[in-house]
Amino acid sequence: NAGVTQTPKFRVLKTGQSMTLLCAQDMNHEYMYWYRQDPGMGLRLIHYSVGEGTTAKGEVPDGYNVSRLKKQNFLLGLESAAPSQTSVYFCASSSGDATNEKLFFGSGTQLSVL
């Protein structure tokens, strides 16, 4: 049972380059999330989705775009990477069941922008 799978695991970009991070979940979860993890700042929510075809902004959305064309996939795009986007990115999903809500996380993507 794969759970939440993120690709790639590592990536180095030059300033101004673009890339897409892919998150896939096989638990039929409605909700999906992208967080970034930075030292001393914890996990901050970038964007999230409460269902196929829907997306919404989180705490730190600037410089990122997302798409949820299929229920199982949630893509995070960086159109023009900046050094400030160097971080570890985590995807998470949840069922949306308020009585048993918990997040399932991917293993993370370490991104460096030079």
Residues in contact with other proteins by the rule CB under 8 A: 31, 33, 35, 40-45, 48, 50, 58-59, 90, 92, 96, 98, 101-103, 105-108
Start-end of H helices in the chain: none
Alpha-carbon distance of 25 to 57, in angstroms, equals 20
Nearest to other proteins of 19, 45 (CB atom): 45
Nearest to other proteins of 4, 13 (CB atom): 4
Alpha-carbon distance of 114 to 111, in angstroms, equals 10
Nearest to other proteins of 69, 98 (CB atom): 98
The total number of residues shown for the chain amounts to 114
